[in-house]
Amino acid sequence: MRNVGRPFTERGWRRSAGCCAAVLALVTIAAHGQDRTAQTEIVLLGTGTPAPNPDAFGPATAIVSGDRLFLVDAGVGVVRRLSAAKLSVADLTALFITHLHSDHTLGYPDVILTSWITGRAAPLEAYGPPGLRNMTDHILAAWSEDIDVRMHGGEGRPATYGVDVHEVRPGVIYDRDGVRVTAFAVQHGAWKYAYGYRFDLPDRSIVLSGDTRPSDSLVAAARGCDVLIHEAHVSDGTAPPHAPGGEAWAQYMHDFHTSDVELGALAERIRPKLLIVNHTGLLGRAATDLIAGIRRGGFSGRVVIGKDLDRY
């Protein structure tokens, strides 16, 4: 409709443009059933094991929902991988640690300090098992001189370097603005506290196993999820050089981890729409061998072997 009798001012143009944008947004929501700006994306930042593989960094997964960025685990290289994925660690909403093994936490100091250096304006929200607070206190103590110099030696950094640590138990641990995160116990060898996490978001549900042997608690927590992200190793019984546990390697893997065949059986019980395999112990075998083992376990659904910087 034309603006008869008065000029179409810049203010009027902005108002009309805003109305059109609002109408377009409503039409988009009606057509797609949700606000597309809130759609969730999974970014695999690190899919590796403790072995130093330059193509598979330490375990870390980003979940992006609208303008919120969640991170599960903080393996080596996590901040650089975030940057490669065009995500900023300074924008991190919350960090969730599955357990305190070194390969899952070597990047934790980097997350704390680099997010602060690059603009984090409030304490970092970190959730994880008992022991996380002690680890955090020691990290901050280890870098205390760095923190002091950055605050008082000319850079003028604000006193926002700290971490708000939440040592959690199984149950709902985060529930804000349509995002609910539930921790559940998993069995990871001698670890007293090891967790998986379920994210229920406006448009999809995502379950991350953490490191675990086959677990009924995981099956119960994951049923009905859209995406299951789970570890696995090839179950041919061949121990690699310098294998954990030495001669007892097979028993170690049984107690601490999940084989491809075991994962196939678990996934068949859970029946996710998508199974993403990460933290893979291929031991020189092909990814197709891992998928074949999952099929032998009974899962016939969609499965992919995750690689660093893959997006789903």
Catalytic residues: 103
Contact 311, 265 (CB under 8 A): no
Of 210, 232, 221, 220, the residue nearest 297 (C-alpha): 232
Report the DSSP beta bridge partners of residue 207: 198, 228
Amino acid (1-letter code) at residue 27:
V
Distance CA 265, CA 152 (A): 57
Distance CA 127, CA 48 (A): 22
Q: State the number of CA atoms in the 13 A half-sphere of 15 facing the CB.
A: 6
Q: Exposure pattern of 188-211 as b/e (b: 16+ CB <10 Å)?
A: bbebebbbbbbbbbebbbbbbbbb
Amino acid (1-letter code) at residue 252:
Y
Residue ranges of alpha helices (H) inside 153-306 are: 216-222, 249-256, 260-270, 287-297
Q: Give, in order, the Cα–Cα distances in Å from 118 to each of 67, 88, 121, 179, 309.
A: 17, 9, 9, 26, 22
> Directed axis angle between helix 132-142 and helix 144-152, to 10°?
60
